Amino acid sequence: MRLKHVKGAEEKIKSAEIVIKNPEQHRGNYMNLFQKKSPLHIEIGMGKGHFIIEKAKRNPNINFIGIEKFDSVIVRAIEKAEELKLPNLRFIRMDATEIQTIFDHEIDLIYLNFSDPWPKNRHENRRLSSPIFLKRYESLFQNDIIIEMKTDNRHLFEYSIISFNELKYHIEEISLNLHEENLEDNIETEYEQKFSLKGFPIYKIRVRKQI
């Protein structure tokens, strides 16, 4: 569910130091924005930022960029992150359809957490795990392509497995009910907490493709 309009959100985003302005200007040089030249992980569709903020807190030797297109959502992530002042965390406000225009062979891992399932067949190409998006991601990675995905939507999960298989990805990890495994290192997103409390199974997959 999208947040309603947040007054002053646009101004807050423009003034926040954690937000990367004009990201296309940094294409190929994102390491220069961080204190350490570390592996770079991105989350596409970070929502209010709970997952990626916690990732950055727990993993100081990895740099993180959260990507979100809705002002009313990213502004909440900014508010949380500004209190912590994490040197390994940045945000970008943009639509993921332009993702290949701002990164160039510099990403190590992509997180897709509870992406919009776009259930209608005519909207298939809008799914972040569709073949058209998977092909966009290929130019982002500097080494092997690694994607981690979590969702509560079984149809999207099954569709994603088919997409990964079609493009010759190797499945490294898969879970049909993540919370039954009681993994200590699992960081829950806002949606994950909501759906798991309702008893919905959480699906997870990690895939890799050599380039």
Interaxial angle between packed helices 71-84 and 50-58, expressed in degrees from 0 to 180 and rounded to the nearest 10? 30
User: Does the annotation mark 104 as catalytic?
Assistant: no
Angle at 187 between CA 7 and CA 205, to 5 degrees: 110
Strand partners, 203: 151
Contact present, 76 and 4 (Cβ < 8 Å): no
| Active-site option among 95, 108, 116, 144 | 116
Q: Determine the Cα angle at 27 with ends 26 and 30, to 5°.
A: 60
Tell me the β-bridge partners of 40. Answer: 63
Q: How far is CA 121 from the centre of its chain?
A: 23
Phi, psi angle pair for 24, to nearest 5°: -65, -25
Structure tokens that stand for 59 in this block: 């993993």
d(CA 201, CA 175) in angstroms, rounded, equals 10
Handedness of CA 71, 67, 125, 152 (dihedral sign): negative
Eight-state DSSP code of residue 29: -
Report the largest interatomic distance among the alpha carbons of the chain, rounded to a whole angstrom: 45
Residues classed as catalytic: 116
